[in-house]
Every structure is written in structure tokens, then in C-alpha cells.
Structure 1
Amino acid sequence: MTTRKEYVFKAINGIPVAADVYFRKTTTVSKLPIALHFHGGNFTVGSKQMLPRDQSEMLLDLGFVVVSANYRLAPTVTVFEGPVKDALDAYEWSRTKLPQLLLEDAHVKADGSRIVTLGHSCGGTLALLTASSPQPPRAILDIYGIKYLADSAFHTPLPAPPGAPQIDQDFMSKIWKDDPPPTSAPPPVGPKGPDLANYRVAWMFDQLGKGTQLKTVVGDSDYDRVDPVSQFSKGNFPPTFFIHGAEDKLVPARLSQQAYDELKSHGVETQLVLVEGGQHGFDEIGQPENALELLEKGFEFLKAHV
């Protein structure tokens, strides 16, 4: 049976930033490795609850303790000051503090030295950035993650879908009043599509339509310090698995191909799976039908390195 327990891994001016920890009680004497997940949402929306249950269960089946972390959301905090710093703090907490907490609270043995990271979309960015830690993860799984942030793909207006409604600018501007920055928000897309009745979701899609979303949330235009590819050539980058929908219109698959090629050139162990016909979020919508089967290869890659 799977147990979920929420922990606060840091607080900023009294505002808690939380993570969900999933585990199964086991009779094994060996300590369990840890898999730390970061959600997507263009650094603007989403929460720790976005880790799909079937995916957390697959990781648990492989013997991991699974952590899904919140982080402060832009744009009232920059990507570096909010999501990146919180992700790195979640990583250090999972590595150094969580094992003792789990032992005390649930008699579950976890090994903080055997930790891997993974993430969807901008969560893949954060997972890759944990490689900058003095004690980097054993391996990383990047699921259609954002990288090469200065690439024109992230600064070109996206065409609005047919029939998309006009959204009131005053309504969307509420996002600039979110101080302190929230650590969770609705997901970017629900069962019926984008929830444009939520001002954060509406603002994000409006910015994507203008080609200004990433520039606005980065804030200071210093892309290098929030772009994981700046770490690729520094040596000791962890083994990395990329999986990307070949038809992704939000984050082009060519960027994962480029990252794979670059890591290869630096002698880093890496694998790449391009999912034929896969769109952004292919694993969450179950198209193609073998999406989870392909994603499982990434989970097994993580397991092989702990």
C-alpha cells in the first residue's frame, strides 16, 4: 500500500514550501533510493499534485521513495530566485534531511546518497539544474524539458487555437498582485483544456501567444544561470535520459536532440527517446498508446544508476 506524507522542506518569511513524499513500507533491510520530481507549468502554474499517479506508482514499483516538490511560482519572483532556488533546496533536503524524517515517522529506510531527479517540461529544467549541486544526483530524467532558453522557439508568438476567447487584460493582471508568490496553482491544462477562468493560467497562455512568457518570468534576461545546458561542459554531469514527443509544438524535440548530442560530445552517458506522434504532455494524455511503456525506459534508466 502506498502512503503519502506532506513535509515542509523550507519556509520563506514564514511561507511554507512543501513536498509530497510517497513510500511503501518494506521488509527489506537495504535502504531505498530517492526519486525527486518537479512539475511543469512554465514556472507559472502547477503544483506537486501534478505528478501522475501511474508514474509515481511505477517509480514505487522500482523500489524508490518518491518526492514531488512545490516551488515558488513566477512572475512575482524570477525563475532564478523562486523555482531554481527552491528546487535546489528541495534536492538538498531530500538528500540530507528526508532519510532521518522517514525513519522516525514511518520506519522507512531511505538512502540520500542514492538520489535521482526527474521532471516534466520546466520541471525537467529544474531536474537538470540539480547537476550543479556539489553532490549531484546519480541520474536525471528529462521529460520534454525546457533548455537552450535563448532559442527562438521560446520567444516566438504561438498561434492561438481556433475559437480561443479574448481574455480581459485587467483580469490577467491580477497575477502581479500575487505577493508573496504562491507555491501552487491549478495545472495549465485540465480535462476540458486550459482553465482560462483562472487568471494565472490565462496570463500564461496570453504570454505564450505573444512570445514573451519565458522572457517575463526569467525577469533579468540572464538565461545562462537558469539554463541547465550551461552545466553540460563543466565535467561530472550525471547520466541523463531524455524523452520527448517528436511533434511537440511548445518545446521542440530538436532541443532534446541537441542536448543529447552535446552531452555525448562531453563523454556523458545519455539516452534519447523521441516519441513518434507525441505532443507536449504526451504521457499525461496517453497518446500514443505506448507512451507509458516508453516512459518506463526512463524510469528503468534511473533505477540502473542507484
Structure 2
Amino acid sequence: MSTSTPTTYVFKKVGDLEIKADIYLPSSPTALPAPILVWWHGGGLILGSRAWNVPHRMRAVDKYGLAIVGLDYRLAPQASLPEILEDVRDGVKWVREELPRLLGPGKVDPTRLATSGNSAGGYLCLLSGLPISGITPPPKALLPIYPITDPLGPFFLTPQRPVKYSEDGYIFTDEDMKVHRDPNSTLLSESFEPFVPGKPFPHNHRMNFYTYMVQEANLAQILFAKAPGVNPEDYAVAKLVTKDMPPTYIVHGDADQHVGLEQTHEVVNAMIKSGATYEFEQPAGEPHGYDAREEVELEKMYDFLFQYL
């Protein structure tokens, strides 16, 4: 199995919808059985795919002898955040119980499992270590990267018309996003199209849905459209932090325009007050997605991981 070409499995079906996992194993037999790092992609929980990989994570497979497992999940608003968390729980359960059997003896060590994710995937990573996820036992460590932490935080309640990172100042209309924002549209477990330099996505493309959400400040409505009786406040990570949550390493650059830095600061402050085990890295001048650059290694994060894995 090449570290650049994953083995793909369907770990769950909802009706006819297949929800998939990509598995990357170390190439050296001496690294086996490999500890597992489960990873969830970003995209506001409304777009994206397990295929969104970054260089440091792909290098980590052989550099650190890690089995990397990328898990998809149902996307909002066609699925609610509670339903997405069901996919998170079911995915981790599958990784622990089914994946070792599928791969064969001695390939992975399901007792040594940690989770990570960037942006919205960082949100799922944090929730995976808290009782609200239903994951038992919890992961050994959490590695959220510039995570969303509260759909009702100031960043997600402040409309931006246009959004600060917009290149052309276009204001997306409700009509542009009509299909994507309709909770009864086709249920998706991945939504991804490669970027082509110089060729923007059409205004009505789902890849613009996140920008529309930031513009309209309606993340909570999108995430809970299919869960009308649920209080979004119950999914604010800072309110769920406890002293005995898994050791957590948070990375969030101070030039992030896609997820407000105060999202992470709120959680870090809660960790300080609770006495939770954590480290916080705030790279100066780094924007959202900076870890996709070839030269970024995040070595301190991986060092932290192996203290607890």
C-alpha cells in the first residue's frame, strides 16, 4: 500500500449513501502494527472530502509510522450536526473494530488511536474527545488545527458583505445557494472539486457555500436545520471541556480570516480553567489553510501526539 494511494472502504451506509474511509499505512514493516490517527476534513461541515490531504499529514505516514485514516461524514444542512456526530462515532468504532480485521493481523494497533482535523474537521476532532460524541474509550489525544469550536461564536454571528477574504467582492445570493441550503436536497457525504488556478468556481457551486455562510453568518441554522429541537449552545466546545478530556494540541494562526481566532481562544481559556492537558500554538501571520504549504511540518504537534499515543 503506497502512502500516496489509499485503500478505500465504505464504513457506513445511510440509505443508498455510502460513507467512505481512506487508509494510508506506513511502507516499512518495522513500523507495524501502526498507531492510528483518524482525520476529518474541513469545509464548515457543509462541503469537502476525505481526499483533502496536505503534505505534512501524508509525510507523517512514513516519517512517524502512523496509519492515517481519513473519514467522510454526511454534510449539512442535509444532515444535522447530531447526525454528523453519529458518523464520527460510527467511524471511530469501525476503525477500532473492523479495520484491523480488514487489513489483516499486525497492521494497525486500535488501542493507540488519536484524532485530528482542520477547520470543521478540527471541530469534530474536539467533539470526538468529549462525552457528547459517545466515543468510548475516548481517543488518546486530540490534534485540532484552526478549529471551529462554536457555531454561535462572534465570528459566525457577524455577517460580512462581502467576506474579508473575497477577491472580487461578490455577494452570494440565496438563489445562488438555493440547492445547497435546502435541507431536503440530495444527501451528500463528500463534495469536492479540485481547484484550477485562474478558473473560479461558478457562483452557484457548493465550493462557494462556505463563503456564503460566512457572508450571511448562518452556520448554526445550517448545522441544525434538520434538528429543530436541538440547542446549538450545547455544541460549544468551551462549555464541554473537562479536566479529564484527552490531551489536546491546538494550532491556529493569528491571520485566519475563515475561522475567527477567538474560537480557539475560548476553548484554550476553558482548558486553563478546568486544568485540562493541552498545548496551544499560534503561528504569527499564518492564515487559514497554511498547513497545506509544502514546507509546513507541524513537528511540535506530532511530538505532542507521541507523548500520549
TM over 0.5: yes
Q: Which is worse superposed, 139-148 or 263-272?
A: 263-272
So what's the TM-score if we normalise by structure 2? 0.86
Give 3-state SS (helix, strand or coil) of 1:48's partner: coil
1:147–1:238: structure 2 CA closer, same or farther, 3 Å change rule?
A: same
CA RMSD for the aligned pairs? 2.5
Counterpart for residue 130 of structure 1: 128
CA distance in 2, matches of 1:232, 1:135: 16
CA distance in 1, matches of 2:200, 2:270: 34
Q: How does 1:113-124 map to 2 (within 5 A)?
A: 113-124=111-122
So what's the TM-score if we normalise by structure 1? 0.87
Give 3-state SS (helix, strand or coil) of 2:177's partner: helix
1:85–1:194: structure 2 CA closer, same or farther, 3 Å change rule?
A: farther
**Unaligned 5+ runs, structure 1:** none
Matched, 1:214 2:220: yes
Q: Which is worse superposed, 120-129 or 187-196?
A: 187-196
Counterpart for residue 112 of structure 1: 110
**Unaligned 5+ runs, structure 2:** none
CA distance in 2, matches of 1:129, 1:285: 27
CA distance in 1, matches of 2:260, 2:176: 30
Q: How does 1:38-187 map to 2 (within 5 A)?
A: 38-81=40-83, 83-103=84-104, 108-131=106-129, 132=131, 133-160=135-162, 161=166, 163-167=168-172, 169-175=174-180, 176=182, 179-186=185-192
1:169–1:102: structure 2 CA closer, same or farther, 3 Å change rule?
A: same
Matched, 1:271 2:279: yes
Counterpart for residue 228 of structure 1: 237
Counterpart for residue 29 of structure 2: 27
Task: Give the structure with the higher percent helix.
Answer: 1
Runs of 4 or more consecutive aligned structure 1 residues displaced over 6 Å after TM superposition: none
1:70–1:191: structure 2 CA closer, same or farther, 3 Å change rule?
A: farther
Write the deviation string for residues 39-74 of structure 1: whole angstroms up to 9, x where unpaired.
000111100001214422224421111000111111
Write the deviation string for residues 273-304 of structure 1: whole angstroms up to 9, x where unpaired.
10100111121256xxx6x13x2211221122
Q: Is the 8 A contact 1:173 1:203 kept in 2?
A: no
Matched AA of 1:12: V
Q: How does 1:239-258 map to 2 (within 5 A)?
A: 239-258=247-266
1:202 to 186, 208, 211: 208
Give 3-state SS (helix, strand or coil) of 2:175's partner: helix
Q: Is the 8 A contact 2:172 2:203 kept in 1?
A: no
Percent identical among aligned pairs is 26
Give 3-state SS (helix, strand or coil) of 1:47's partner: coil
